[in-house]
Chains A and B, each alone.
Chain A
Amino acid sequence: MKNKLLLFVLPLSILATQSFAQGSLLDELGKDEETIEYAKYSFKTNRIINMHSLENTAEGVLDMKISHRFGTIDEGFYDLFGLDAATQRIGLDYGITDNLTVGVNRNSVRKAFDGFVKYRVLRQSTGKVNMPITLSVLSSMAIETQKWSDPTRENYFSSRLFYTHQLLIGRKFNDAFTLELAPTVVHRNLVATKAEKNTVLAMGIGGRVRLNRRTTFNAEYIYVLPNQLADNYKNSLSIGFDIETGGHVFQLHFTNSTSMSEYSYITQTDANWGKNAIRFGFNVSRVFTMYDAKKRKK
């Protein structure tokens, strides 16, 4: 009888221990601690085309950008679809922290220098912190340094200054699609005529569709609210592709804007898409890692 008990208990105990071994060992550790998962890589660079994107330059990274906008394609073969004429911009962006980027640029249009500060206030995330959008604030100031059009007139230095303030609000909906809105104020100390407003309100909209691992289709449009600019100025519209090759991102696009400075492509775009007055352009971005941010924090 008691032997039978032993026979009964022994397999039971083996069964009991084996039941522990069932299933995944990892499951026994319990659930992973919930962490904040940021929505990263909403755009391939910190610009959509002309507009700032939701991305910042990572801490300790220097991003050198060289950009060209060519002449309008409507002259045809005579000036090789605009390639004979080019405006240039060279710029350096630097990530002070992952959320704070500063940059300086020189733009050949009106010989403008500009500098910007971009701060990410909210960052889209899931997990421990659920934040549906990214929100950044961009402030940029530009100085036009070309000679006064009328040197005999009394000219003030302040007349050379332009300010742009933008909120960049957007969401990476999924790996393929990101959308961004940018309510914008541009202030110009000097305007050509009384009919033009010194302070101009605009709304930018931009987005990207990821076509494959290394290519995205980008588009942006800046709607300037009516009755603020002279009639010859148009809204800036640009479409193009980001192509990434190892260390570089090439942004190839068509746009009706000549300048790549915020104040200028928003308020000084004078070419008309409807009349084929569009230009080919590109931005090339090359990043240099100045220091390993995460290592330094340790």
Chain B
Amino acid sequence: MKKVFFSLLALVATFSLSAQGKFFSKDANVAFDANSPLEKIEGKTNKGTLVIDAATGKVESAVLIKGFHFKSALMEEHFNENYMESGKFPKSTFAGDITNFSSVNLKKDGTYPIQIKGNLTMHGVTKPVEAKGSLVVKGGAITNGSAAFKVLMADYGIAIPAAVKDKIAKEAKIDISAALQKLVK
């Protein structure tokens, strides 16, 4: 009988291990930055989605390209029509792992630097990327997450015409940050 109890305990324990749960946001801030010394090219959206699985250290994110807002309507049109071709490729996604997730102690409040490795899909092209970021742990939960990516436009088949090559950075910065909630089934 005792052993049945222990086996049930073991069952609960393994569940609770994963019951550290998943943390998500549906209103993550995503900033796309291709600033050059000549022109400020910055798009922002607060409609990104982000999920972190605290059991495995897996992380996934998605954002709608059309949701990005630029300070000029024309820049926004060019971003959608000429560069990202959002009609054809409406979504950009990332799926990967937090490689140093073991160093994040969910029982101890604090801000933990993280390293992320995974695949970024943009403009219909999927490429491996690495990023640095941080996680904020508070009260046994991951309350905030952020990461910064650097991507070469050329890697994703985004051509910058010669006429504007000095105005657009060849390497774009993509920053994502979100306040996270626990995913309740």
Contact = CB atoms under 8 A, between A and B. Distances in A.
Contacts of A244: 82
Contact of A28 (B11, B87, B163, B183): B183
B100 interface: no
Given A2-B7, A17-B55, 20 more contacts: A3-B3, A6-B6, A9-B7, A9-B11, A21-B56, A26-B49, A26-B51, A26-B62, A29-B24, A29-B49, A29-B51, A32-B49, A61-B72, A213-B81, A246-B163, A287-B73, A289-B71, A289-B72, A293-B73, A294-B69
Given A3-B3, A5-B4, A41-B80, A25 B51 contact: yes
Interface in A88-136: none
A245 B28 CA distance: 33
Given A28-B51, A175-B87, A40 B14 contact: no
Contacts of A16: 15
Nearest to A17: B18
A284 to B, nearest CB: 14
A214 to B, nearest CB: 6
A41 B77 contact: yes
Name the 10 nearest CB pairs between A and B, nearest first: A58-B73, A2-B3, A25-B51, A6-B7, A17-B18, A25-B60, A289-B72, A13-B11, A13-B14, A175-B87
Contacts of A3: 3
- Residue from B11, B22, B53 with most neighbouring chain A CB atoms (10 Å): B11
Q: How many residues of B sit at the interface, in one of the four size bands?
A: 35 or more
Contacts of B81: 41, 213
A12 B87 CA distance: 45
A153 interface: no
28 contacts: A5-B4, A6-B3, A10-B7, A10-B11, A12-B11, A13-B14, A17-B14, A21-B18, A21-B53, A21-B55, A21-B58, A24-B60, A24-B95, A25-B59, A25-B60, A25-B95, A26-B49, A26-B60, A29-B49, A32-B49, A40-B66, A58-B73, A60-B73, A61-B73, A213-B81, A213-B82, A289-B73, A292-B72
Interface residues of A, number: 40
Contacts, number: 101
B163 A245 contact: yes
Nearest to B86: A40
B152 interface: no
A97 to B, nearest CB: 12
A78 interface: no
Interface in A6-35: 6, 9-10, 12-14, 16-17, 20-21, 24-26, 28-29, 32-33
B117 interface: no
Given A21-B55, A25-B58, A175 B88 contact: yes
Interface of A: 2-3, 5-6, 9-10, 12-14, 16-17, 20-21, 24-26, 28-29, 32-33, 37, 40-41, 58-61, 175, 213-214, 244-247, 287, 289, 292-295
Given A6-B6, A17-B15, A214 B82 contact: yes
Contacts of B18: 17, 20-21
A29 B22 CA distance: 10
Most buried by A among B7, B22, B73: B73
B80 to A, nearest CB: 7
Contacts of A293: 73
A24 B93 CA distance: 11
B40 to A, nearest CB: 12
Most buried by A among B58, B74, B85: B74
Contacts of A24: 60, 95
B158 to A, nearest CB: 11
A21 B51 CA distance: 12
A244 B75 CA distance: 12
Contacts of B154: none
Contact of A5 (B3, B61, B74, B77): B3
